[in-house]
Structure 1
Amino acid sequence: MKIRLVQNGIFTPVEELSLTTVPPEDGFYWIEADVEDLTELQETFGLHELAVEDTIDEEEQRPKIEIYDNHYFIVINSIRFDDEEIYLRALNVFLFKHLVITVTRQKISELRTIKPILLREQVNSADYFLYHVIDLVVDNYSHVADRIEARIEKLEEDILMHTKKSHLNEIIGLRSEILWLKKALGPQRELIWTLNKKDLKLIDGQLQKYFSDIHENAVKTAETFDTFRDLMGNLREAYQSSLSNRANEIMRVFTAMTTIFMPLTVITGIYGMNFDNIPETHMEYGYYFVLGIMLVVAVSFFWFFKKKDWI
């Protein structure tokens, strides 16, 4: 557990948890905690038992806000995109007037990148801290959307250049991830809308207006994932079309080869018949003469097909 006093974005470590029960003269306290710290934090600050139970028992939670007497319990899902895999990680926030407690099971990048932002913006209150955290979370969804778009474009290029059976698995997997993220964005937008519109005593009224910008970004990101879903459908059609074209190309080559070798088969069939009185059968160079005729016929057919762009 890390305890800090934040004053105009400047961090001062605090050694004793008991010191944070009294509001500071200036700034607010930020406590970064693990799930194991919740028992002590509940006893110290009177965290609601249902919020504590949700944080401990549910690893994957639906984004929401629960309003209690002297604090709010807020859950928002942070997104992470590693090695072509997408993960959602719950960020649990207990918001007081002079204090904010963040509880996570895994490391969340937003809590690391927010520190220079607090200093730059000279953040001096817990509600503004919450605003910047949620803003970072939504921005990361936009960054992931950009990476997914790049992945779709590369997959489309690979399919058009050289179709492989593995591309179908990539299409199915990526489409599933897009649908999953689109479904997860719904509750996230509802949470931000609540922070924007609902009368919340622990959040400055002037600050609530800024949540509308975050909500707008969340809506745009959700619309982007709608577009991705349509693109994946087009990508699957392109895959099927490419496979059909490739099969047609193979059949065209096989047909051309069959046509080329058909007259050669006729020639060898004629000279393979068991008759004594076949012309040229007793010629000294008859064998090489027939081979020459076969070569000329094969090359002529190949040249004709090539000229017609059939092969």
Structure 2
Amino acid sequence: MIEAYRTENRVTSRVEDMGDGAWVRLCAPTLDEVDLVARTFGLERDDVLAATDPEEKARVEYEDDSLLILVDVPSAGETHGERARNTVPLCIILTKSNVITICSERFALLDDFSSGKVRGFSTWRHSRFVCTILLRLGVFYQQVLADIDRRRLALEGRMDRSISEADLFSLHGLESSLVYLSTSLQGNANALGRLRRCPRLLRHEGLDELLEDAIVEHQQALEMAQIYRNVIDGTRDLMSSVMDLRLNDVMRRLTVITVVLSIPTIVSGFYGMNVSDEWMPLANETHGFVIICVATALVCVLIMWLLKKRRVF
């Protein structure tokens, strides 16, 4: 899908043409749309297609007439049926009079620009537009990471009650998300470092500070991702320890029950042997069976009390 926006009188609205001053936005473009944009702006077809390849790495390429910036942006996905985060490429191409963004899906962050939510945004201020996207992308990464940490805290809060298989898959999904995000953030940080040496982007006064802020936000997001990965490792170890403790507790209880139930088995085994009654206590008494059962039950209760006193049970 191709959309074009232009700012007139400080109001950004959608337009039909892709002339000077237009921001051209491609979301999951078809090959025909890719060819149309490439012909219209004199771009290489492979450059426009780069954002549709999930294996593309973050990079910066600039020539006299155009600047290509490829960064990774967070994307929603699933791992073993659990909600997880992945990344997809976002390609930003800056020409003499236009900004072109290409992504394999609709990136919500760009909706803020098209809907007029970004203060002072103008499609005519191309370099500032690009730097603002990169700055807000770093902040967006931090929000995604904060959401992952909140989900981890929710998992920890359920550990005192029970740990299910779904919790293990959820924790694995969070860890996988952090791996993808931290890897993409590292690539983005390297690409932003190259932008510092790009005179085309920083020719306007004040954009160097805006780009520096974008680099700082990405660096902070990268540090957050690394910290949360370490915390996730600790959470996984804690979950494993809790499961081992609960398994040991169950095995201890089963062992105690087995020991206690062995006493009636031993007593009944003695009285079930094929020997003379005169050698078996209470064998010929009228209430001998009841007395033996009560005595056996008392012994079981006594053993249970001793084991509980010793905190074995």
Scaled by the length of structure 1, what TM-score is found? 0.85
2:50 is paired with a residue whose SS is: helix
- The 5 Å alignment of 1:31-110 reads 31-33=24-26, 34-35=29-30, 36-52=32-48, 54-55=50-51, 58-81=53-76, 84-110=83-109
After superposition, the C-alpha distances for 1:30-56 in whole angstroms (9 at most, x for unaligned) are: 122335323222223222455235356
Does residue 30 (structure 1) correspond to residue 23 (structure 2)? The answer is: yes
Considering fraction of residues, name the structure with more helix.
1
In structure 1, what is the Cα distance between the partners aligned to 2:95 and 2:150? 41
1:301 is paired with a residue whose SS is: helix
After superposition, the C-alpha distances for 1:196-224 in whole angstroms (9 at most, x for unaligned) are: x2142244241121111121111111112
2:16 is paired with a residue whose SS is: coil
Task: Indicate conservation of the 8 Å contact 1:193/1:211, yes or no.
Answer: no
1:250 maps to what in 2?
250
For 2:101, the aligned partner's letter is: T
After superposition, the C-alpha distances for 1:92-141 in whole angstroms (9 at most, x for unaligned) are: 22212431112222211112122355662253511122122222222221
1:193 maps to what in 2?
193
Task: Indicate conservation of the 8 Å contact 1:81/1:144, yes or no.
Answer: no
- The 5 Å alignment of 1:130-279 reads 130-195=130-195, 197-203=196-202, 204-273=204-273, 274-277=275-278, 278-279=280-281
For 1:31, the aligned partner's letter is: V
Structure 2 unaligned runs (5+)? none
Does residue 121 (structure 1) correspond to residue 123 (structure 2)? The answer is: no
Partner of residue 282 from structure 2, selected from 280, 299, 311: 280
Q: After superposing the two structures, state which structure 1 stretch, 222-231 or 257-266, moved more.
A: 257-266
2:93 is paired with a residue whose SS is: strand
1:11 maps to what in 2?
12
In structure 1, what is the Cα distance between the partners aligned to 2:301 and 2:191? 73
In structure 2, what is the Cα distance between the partners aligned to 1:3 and 1:166? 44
Distance 1:104 1:158, change over 3 A: same
1:253 positional shift: 0.9
Q: After superposing the two structures, state which structure 1 stretch, 144-153 or 129-138, moved more.
A: 129-138
In structure 2, what is the Cα distance between the partners aligned to 1:108 and 1:173? 21
Structure 1 unaligned runs (5+)? none
1:42 is paired with a residue whose SS is: helix
Q: After superposing the two structures, state which structure 1 stretch, 115-124 or 293-302, moved more.
A: 115-124
Distance 1:178 1:53, change over 3 A: closer
Task: Indicate conservation of the 8 Å contact 1:98/1:125, yes or no.
Answer: no
Q: Over the residues paired in the alignment, what is the CA RMSD in angstroms?
A: 2.5
Distance 1:127 1:299, change over 3 A: same
Q: After superposing the two structures, state which structure 1 stretch, 168-177 or 178-187, moved more.
A: 168-177
For 1:279, the aligned partner's letter is: P
1:145 positional shift: 0.4
For 1:39, the aligned partner's letter is: D
1:234 is paired with a residue whose SS is: helix
Task: Indicate conservation of the 8 Å contact 1:97/1:202, yes or no.
Answer: no
Distance 1:135 1:249, change over 3 A: same
Distance 1:288 1:94, change over 3 A: same
Between the two proteins, the alignment pairs up a number of residues equal to: 301
For 1:285, the aligned partner's letter is: H
Distance 1:2 1:230, change over 3 A: closer
After superposition, the C-alpha distances for 1:225-284 in whole angstroms (9 at most, x for unaligned) are: 212222232223223322321222122112211332333333323322322202311111
Q: Identity percentage over the alignment?
A: 20
In structure 1, what is the Cα distance between the partners aligned to 2:193 and 2:165? 43
Runs of 4+ off more than 6 Å: none
In structure 1, what is the Cα distance between the partners aligned to 2:6 and 2:139? 26
